Amino acid sequence: MTYRCVRSSSAPASGTRRSARDAIRQLRGLGLLTVLLTGDSGLVAQAVGNQLQVDEVHAELMPHQTQQHVEALQRDGQMVAMIGDGVNDATALVQPTVGAAMGSGTAVAMESADVVLIGNDLGKFVDTVRIARRCRRIIWQNFAGTLIVDGLGVGLAAFGLLNPLLAAFIHVASELTFILNSTRLLPRTEDVPVGSAVAPQEDSASIARVAA
């Protein structure tokens, strides 16, 4: 399955472009394919796209066309995340698998999004992806561990090889192990300075597609 992340924005300032280029490089390193969707002219959009090193550029888009691009990706079976900051992005932010709004954007965009990134740094979305993947990995570890322990316990008990006292001890020990494993999700020092996001703010869009 393929994943895309959608970003909505007009041509950024030079300082913002540098931070955005670094964030996009990191997203590609995570296996995401990036696409820029914008209402700017083709020449401007292509120049910005080349500077940011995105995989695809789509320019001169109206708000409804941005949403149509997202819908087309989803019809292809892709998981889509869209990042937007403007009023024109509000409708499209509702469509993707995950809609993320920049904290410096409009209130309408933030209300429409699933996640609000604090500030105007795309690097915080990279942090969000990493944290989400770590959460999913630990959840699956705990789930698999529970199935294994319970399966072995039921099997041993069925053959009379496990008395109730030992079964209770194994159950408590396994639950404590899974709880300790879950504590790995607690905030880490390296997560704080890079960026942060909070659960649910005007015009243009870019899409990042993630290759699973």
Which pLDDT belongs to residue 187?
Answer: 78
Which pLDDT belongs to residue 104?
Answer: 77
Closest CA to 200 of 73, 132, 69, 100: 100
Residue 128: exposure state from Cβ atoms within 10 A (0-12, 13-18, ≥19): buried
Averaged pLDDT, 92-118: 87
> What is the SS3 string spanning 119-154?
CCCCHHHHHHHHHHHHHHHHHHHHHHHHHHHHHHHH
Residue 43: exposure state from Cβ atoms within 10 A (0-12, 13-18, ≥19): exposed
pLDDT at 108 over 60: yes
Which pLDDT belongs to residue 6?
Answer: 57
DSSP letters of 68-92? HHHHHHHHTT-EEEEEE-SGGGHHH
56 touches 36 (CB < 8 A): yes
**Gap between the terminal Cα atoms of the chain:** 5
Residues 167-177 pLDDT 10s: 899 999 999 99
CA distances from 24 to 68, 99, 111, 194 (A): 23, 17, 25, 14
pLDDT at 194 over 80: no
CA distances from 202 to 104, 170, 178 (A): 10, 55, 43
In the structure, what pLDDT confidence band is assigned to residue 122 with cuts at 50, 70 and 90?
Answer: confident
Which pLDDT belongs to residue 205?
Answer: 41
83 touches 5 (CB < 8 A): yes
Mean pLDDT of the chain: 81
Which pLDDT belongs to residue 189?
Answer: 58
Best mean pLDDT range from 20-29, 180-189, 201-210: 20-29
Spatial distance between the Cα atoms of 46 and 30, rounded to a whole number of angstroms: 24
Averaged pLDDT, 106-132: 88
Please give the share of the chain, as a percent, with pLDDT higher than 90.
31
CA distances from 132 to 115, 120, 135, 152, 208 (A): 12, 20, 5, 30, 16
Collapse the DSSP code of 117 into the 3-class scheme (helix H, G, I; strand E, B; otherwise coil) and give the result: strand
Which pLDDT belongs to residue 142?
Answer: 96
pLDDT at 204 over 50: no
In the structure, what pLDDT confidence band is assigned to residue 92 with cuts at 50, 70 and 90?
Answer: confident
pLDDT at 198 over 50: no
pLDDT at 118 over 90: no
